[in-house]
């Protein structure tokens, strides 16, 4: 409804003034992109899911009208939302793409926002030096503009990075600067709860009473301003503070509240933090069975957070290696006249190394490909049953039914991808481009994400789902195999037969006879 009102309001001046329809439409769409980005910013501390939806809409519209600045702003908002959910790989990817656009446009504030998101992502994957380098870039660029809300956030994040590095005095100085500059320049009060809470953490060890004063003040302000993300985080911090004081009743109340709110918002870091505290509480209460349940869930959430980081670290190592190789080649080329014979020997050696490495990589890739295909098949078959299985496990451990597991962003994305393929099963034209378009992702982003989750590129992922559907239909003997091939999106039966044999190791007719014999036995 809010967006409809905005669109009507934007259209009214054009109708009155009689401007050029094409120019007026472009102006209206550009303004709408900015409004969607603003709405995404307004919701980023209140409802991260809604914030991500607004950012997605802004990105789609910006791409349609060719607004690079709009695309960069939307990507930064998406990056912040992904960071909120704990998907640091996606957050860093979106921020890097936005940064590239910002550099091309020489847009200082866009670049500052990108570096800010990058700093948050690097901080969470324990790369302190890169986080500090990124936040310093953000500060320098933001100081050129007048966005004090961004500067306030930057100063606060500088404090967080210093606190993690064990420099509490320096952290407190940055937190104080964030708070005072925010107050001085009329920054939205929704930004202050996390700053006040961070100040309290600086006093937690030496002066717990003073720390609690800051925590309670921060929690009260978070509730007043509707900052749900800060509220969940602060409740978890207070729960752990009570746990240090051995007040298990108060600690459990706050940790349970933080857990419920964090699950609803999708804040996996807060969920992990709360589970860790609940493990300690159950151990102190002598309830070992319940402690084991919470510990298992703690590790599940922790693993889901660190999985994306590992993939990103591998990519960075590869990129670093490629960069070093390019620099080495440049130096060799500059000295080519003096060391021509040595250069030739190096090239020969490189070729031999690449051949050996390529052969080894090919064999390893074939092995991984086979194993990943088996895993992907099981994932496709079992994904729809995960909810029921999770519910059964809860009942078996006597944990309250409301204590459900958090579905990660990877699981949500994979579920959506499978649903899209199944919805377009008979569409022979449905491929990676259409999937990326319907999921509001770039082709490159979709390829990276699907590959990191399943081990396969999107094209093979789509083909695997089609072939598993075909296998089911063949066993059901509902139609001739040639018609089944068309039903699952293969125009050419010969292509279908080759793909089926490559995937399952037998032709469609052999598959039908083998499975039929096994069933009869």
pLDDT tens profile 355-379: 887 777 777 766 655 555 555 555 5
DSSP 383: G
**Residue 190 token pair:** 């929704």
Mean of pLDDT values over 416-440? 88
Could you give the 3-state DSSP secondary structure of residue 441?
Answer: coil
Mean pLDDT of 230-250: 93
Residue 10 — pLDDT band, cuts 50, 70, 90? very low
Mean of per-residue pLDDT scores for the chain:
81
Q: Quick: pLDDT tens for 30-49.
A: 889 999 999 999 998 999 99
Predicted local confidence at residue 365, as pLDDT: 66
Token pair of 150 as six digits:
């961004």
Can you give the pLDDT at residue 101? 93
* Cα distance between residue 519 and residue 423, in whole Å: 30
Within a 10 A sphere around the Cβ of 377, how many other Cβ atoms?
A: 17
Helix and strand numbers, DSSP H then E, in the chain = 24, 0
Query: In this predicted model, what pLDDT tens digit does every residue of 201-211 receive, in sequence order?
Result: 999 888 999 99
pLDDT at residue 491 in the model? 86
Q: Please enumerate in sequence order all residues whose Cβ is within 8 A of that of 205, keeping only pairs 6 or more positions apart, or say none.
A: none
What torsion, rounded to 10 degrees, do the Cα atoms 370, 372, 374, 379 define?
-170
Nearest to 229 by CA among 189, 263, 180: 263
SS3 430: coil
Alpha helices in 245-267 (DSSP H): 248-265
Instruction: Output the six-digit token pair for 355.
Output: 């051949």
CB-neighbour burial class of residue 432 (10 A; exposed 0-12, middle 13-18, buried 19+): middle
Residue range 93-105: mean pLDDT, rounded: 92
Please, what's the largest Cα pairwise distance for the chain? 81
Is the pLDDT at 414 greater than 70? The verdict is yes
- What is the percent of the chain with per-residue pLDDT over 90, rounded to a whole number? 42
- Per-residue model confidence (pLDDT) at position 326: 57
- Residue 182: band (very low, low, confident or very high) from pLDDT cuts 50, 70, 90: very high
Per-residue pLDDT for 15 more than 60? no
More confident residue, 492 or 401: 492
- What are the start-end ranges of the H helices in 143-191? 148-164, 168-184
On whether the CB atoms of residues 251 and 269 are closer than 8 A, the answer is: no
Model confidence at 307, pLDDT cuts 50, 70, 90, reads low
Q: Which domains does the chain have, with CATH numbers?
A: 1-145 (1.25.40.10), 227-334 (1.25.40.10)
Using the predicted structure, report yes or no on whether residue 17 has a pLDDT greater than 50.
Answer: no
Is 80 exceeded by the pLDDT of residue 98? yes
Taking phi over 0 as left and psi of -120 to 50 as alpha, with beta for the rest, 267 belongs to beta
Give me the mean pLDDT over the 402-424 stretch. Answer: 76
Helix, strand, or coil (residue 436)? helix
Per-residue confidence band for 401, with pLDDT thresholds at 50, 70 and 90: very low
pLDDT classification of 393: cutoffs 50, 70, 90: very low
Tokens encoding 345: 């020997």
For the segment 16-28, the average pLDDT, to the nearest whole number, is 58
Label residues 347-367 b or e (16+ Cβ within 10 Å = b): eeeeeeeeeeeeeeeeeeeee
Please check the confidence at residue 474 and state whether its pLDDT lies above 50: yes
φ, ψ at 286 (rounded to 5°): 75, 20
Which tens digits make up the pLDDT trace of 114-149? 999 999 988 988 888 999 999 999 999 999 877 899
Q: Residues 6 or more apart from 98 whose CB is under 8 A from it?
A: 71, 72, 73, 75, 76, 79, 110, 113, 114, 117
Instruction: Judge contact between 185 and 147, C-beta under 8 A.
Output: no
Rounded to 5°, angle at Cα 37 from 451 and 74: 30
Residue with tokens 């037998």: 506
Q: How many C-beta atoms surround the C-beta of residue 490 within 10 A?
A: 22
Checking if the pLDDT of 281 tops 70, the result is yes
Going by the DSSP 8-state scheme, the letter that residue 505 receives in this structure is S
Residue 254 has pLDDT above 60, yes or no: yes
Q: Is the dihedral of CA 193, 194, 199, 202 positive or negative?
A: positive
pLDDT at 20: 55
| Percent of the chain residues past pLDDT 70, beyond the cut | 78
- 318-335 tens-digit pLDDT: 465 445 445 555 665 666
d(Cα 308, Cα 346) in Å, to the nearest integer?
A: 37
Residue 387's pLDDT band (cuts 50, 70, 90): very low
201-234 b/e with 16+ CB inside 10 Å = b? bbbbeeebeebbebbebbbebbeebebbbbbbbb
* Nearest Cα residue to 189 out of 151, 154, 224: 224
């Amino acid at each position: 409804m809010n967006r409809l009102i905005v669109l009507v309001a934007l259209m009214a001046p054009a109708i009155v003034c009689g401007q050029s329809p094409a120019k007026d439409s472009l102006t209206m769409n550009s303004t709408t992109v900015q409004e969607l980005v603003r709405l995404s910013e307004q919701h980023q501390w209140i409802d991260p899911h809604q914030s991500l939806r607004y950012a997605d809409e802004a990105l789609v519209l910006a791409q349609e009208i060719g607004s690079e600045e709009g695309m960069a702003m939307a990507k930064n908002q998406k990056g912040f939302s992904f960071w909120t959910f704990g998907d640091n790989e996606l957050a860093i990817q979106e921020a890097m793409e936005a940064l590239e656009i910002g550099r091309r446009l020489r847009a200082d504030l866009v670049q500052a926002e990108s570096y800010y998101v990058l700093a948050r992502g690097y901080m969470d994957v324990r790369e302190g030096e890169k986080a500090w380098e990124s936040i310093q870039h953000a500060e320098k660029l933001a100081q050129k503009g007048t966005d004090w809300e961004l500067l306030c956030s930057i100063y606060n994040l500088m404090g967080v990075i210093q606190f993690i590095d064990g420099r509490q005095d320096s952290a407190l100085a940055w937190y104080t600067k964030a708070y005072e500059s925010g107050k001085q320049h009329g920054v939205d009060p929704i930004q202050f709860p996390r700053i006040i809470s961070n100040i309290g953490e600086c006093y937690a060890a030496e002066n717990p009473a003073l720390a609690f004063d800051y925590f309670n003040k921060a929690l009260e302000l978070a509730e007043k301003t509707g900052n749900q993300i800060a509220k969940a985080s602060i409740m978890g911090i207070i729960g752990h503070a009570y746990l240090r004081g051995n007040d298990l009743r108060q600690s459990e109340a706050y940790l349970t509240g933080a857990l419920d709110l964090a699950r609803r918002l999708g804040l996996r870091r807060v969920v992990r933090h709360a589970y860790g505290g609940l493990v300690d509480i159950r151990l102190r209460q002598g309830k070992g069975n319940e402690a084991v349940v919470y510990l298992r869930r703690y590790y599940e959430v922790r693993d889901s957070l660190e999985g994306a980081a590992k993939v990103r670290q591998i990519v960075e190592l590869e990129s670093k290696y490629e960069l070093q190789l390019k620099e080495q080649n440049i130096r060799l080329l500059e000295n080519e006249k003096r060391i021509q014979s040595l250069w030739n020997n190096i090239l020969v050696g490189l070729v031999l190394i690449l051949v050996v490495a390529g052969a080894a990589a090919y064999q390893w890739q074939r092995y991984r490909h086979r194993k990943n295909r088996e895993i992907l098949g099981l994932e496709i078959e079992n994904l729809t049953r995960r909810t029921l299985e999770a519910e059964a496990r809860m009942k078996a451990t006597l944990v309250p039914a409301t204590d459900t597991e958090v579905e990660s962003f990877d699981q949500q994305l994979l579920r959506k991808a499978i649903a899209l393929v199944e919805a377009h099963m008979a569409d022979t034209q449905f491929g990676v481009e259409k999937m990326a378009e319907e999921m509001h992702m770039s082709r490159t982003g979709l390829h990276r994400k699907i590959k990191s989750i399943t081990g396969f590129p999107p094209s093979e992922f789509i083909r695997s789902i089609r072939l598993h559907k075909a296998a089911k239909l063949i066993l059901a003997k509902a139609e001739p195999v040639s018609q089944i091939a068309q039903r699952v999106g293969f125009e050419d039966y010969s292509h279908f037969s080759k793909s089926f044999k490559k995937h399952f190791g037998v032709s469609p007719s052999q598959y039908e006879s083998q499975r039929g014999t096994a069933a009869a036995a």
